[in-house]
Amino acid sequence: MQDQDAMQAPADWGQDGGADAAASLLQRYDAATGLWNLPRTGEFWDAVALARQLGRFGAGCTIAIVDDGFDMAVPALAPHTLVPHIADPQPFAHGTAVALLILAVAPQARLRLYPTRTAAGWDAQAIAHALQAIARTDAAIVNLSLGQAHAHATLNRFGEFLAAMAPWPGMAEAEAPYWLNSCLGGLAAHGGWRSLLRAPDSPLADPVAALVRGGRTVVAATGNARGHVYDPALRPGVLAVGFQRVARGGDAGMERAALKAPTYSQSEFNDIGLPQPPGVIGSSFAAPLAAGFVALMAERATLPAYAELAWSAGLAEQLMAQLGADGSAPLPRQAQAVALLFANAVQAAPHAHGRGDGPCPECALFGTSAFVNGGLYALTWGDLDRAAALLAPAVAFAPNNPHAAANLAMVHARRAEAAGEVQARARELAEAARLMGQACALRPEHQPYRRRLEQFTHAAQDSRGWTLDP
């Protein structure tokens, strides 16, 4: 056991986003009604809505939150359990906002609230003691929207990793990023980015490891500084969470989801990058949304597989955005590297979905971009069977996603173009029109979808001599 002086929090301990961001966020919460004035749009809230359609509200799940403090005068928090580990807990805004965000996602979950910051500052001993106490409770999920920022440059083992990798024979300079991501893809089942870091000494290392060994899901904010990552988010077995934006690109009725930096600076090191909902910034607030969603999951044990999926898919999507961007024809090994990374991502998915299967909130949140972008990549290269094999499950498990439906419609349109028999062509066009109609209903303002719908509907009635417009 370390002495008290050794356990004191360093000056750079804290919460990304901080008190100002939390106070600003709480201005959008109505304590009287228990409702947030936040748009519930986008892929995250779509997945939450699917979970609720399946009757999942977090009932029977206990979530422990270690944070600065909690305002127990807020009616929504009053029924939950405050577990002080300091002499004079304060009703800080940050912990209050974190707890209320969890309840916005999993309203029937039970919370155990551990305040660990005094008016004088952070108390690392209280944080460690809180984690030790949580290990003796029935809490299945632990939320840590706090940490100590470490510069990647002080921890990284990247040079050692590269030195052990053999380059492709005769590798051209343009192939180097594709070779590198292919090498990194091999780390997916071995800790991903964590295997490139030396874990620093920390008073929280042992308590966090004990929680992970005990089967608890520890969700931690990854931090808000690029080139840095929070401890304990970097600890093995922890689910490190941040935000990312999803920007749509493409034309002619096909769309790709490109990952972009969130509106608030974030660490690039995470296991799960949640699609950033409108009005919520900072990885401190990504973590509680993720923790709430974990409480809705049918099987928490599938989380490592989804993290592996996200790692490989992220590497593939990064390269997909670069491929041919300079106008040059892709080299064979470049194209193969992207295809293999997408294949590895899909293979990591913890369960398969068929065309007739129902919604899956977990795959809708964590797997949609891999299946949609992987399907679009196959479609771009003319592999219609592979494209359909990825896009049809995406339409099934994420029925509120317009991009999956639109891209699958384009697969059927391409099949119609290749069909030699008029009736077969008409059937493919009718299916293309149905799917594009579904995409239009989900995204009515998007004119490329509407133009394609009109084209497919008209052609399905008379498909003789039909070809797909550019």
Q: What was the pLDDT predicted at 245?
A: 59
CATH class of the structural domain 18-156+197-296: alpha beta
* CATH topology identical between 18-156+197-296 and 306-461: no
Give tens-digit pLDDT for 273-305. 887 777 666 788 999 999 999 999 999 999 999
CATH number for the region 306-461 comes to 1.25.40.10
**Cα-based torsion angle of the residue sequence 49, 451, 453, 404 in order, rounded to the nearest 10 degrees:** -40
- CA-based torsion, 414, 415, 417, 423: positive or negative: negative
Which 8-state DSSP code applies to residue 16? Answer: S
Q: How confident is the model at residue 324 (pLDDT cuts 50, 70, 90)?
A: confident
| pLDDT value, residue 266 | 42
Between residues 322 and 58, the one the model is more confident about: 58
Tokens matching residue 345 = 């991502």
Q: What is the band of 259 on the pLDDT scale with cuts at 50, 70, 90?
A: very low
Q: Which residue has the tokens 């409770």?
A: 137
What is the SS3 assignment for 2? coil
Dihedral sign for Cα 151, 230, 105, 103, please. negative
Residue type, 394: A
Strand partners of residue 218: 142
The pLDDT, as a whole number, for residue 257 is: 44
- 357 alpha-carbon distance from chain centroid: 22
Q: What mean pLDDT comes out for the span 264-268? A: 48
Q: Residue 143: how many CA atoms within 13 Å on its side-chain side?
A: 37
Backbone angles phi, psi at 357, to 5 degrees: -75, 160
The predicted structure's pLDDT at residue 268: 65
Structure-block tokens of residue 311: 């790692």
Contact 456, 446 (CB under 8 A): no
Structure tokens at 44: 């995250």
- Residue 188 near residue 312, CB atoms below 8 Å: yes
Domain boundaries, the chain: 18-156+197-296, 306-461
The residue with tokens 């593939």 is 316
Query: What is the Cα gyration radius of the chain?
Result: 24
pLDDT in tens, 379-422: 999 999 999 999 999 999 999 999 999 999 999 999 999 998 88
**Does residue 61 have a pLDDT over 90?**
yes
State the chain's mean pLDDT as an integer. Answer: 87
pLDDT in tens, 350-374: 988 876 688 999 999 999 989 999 9
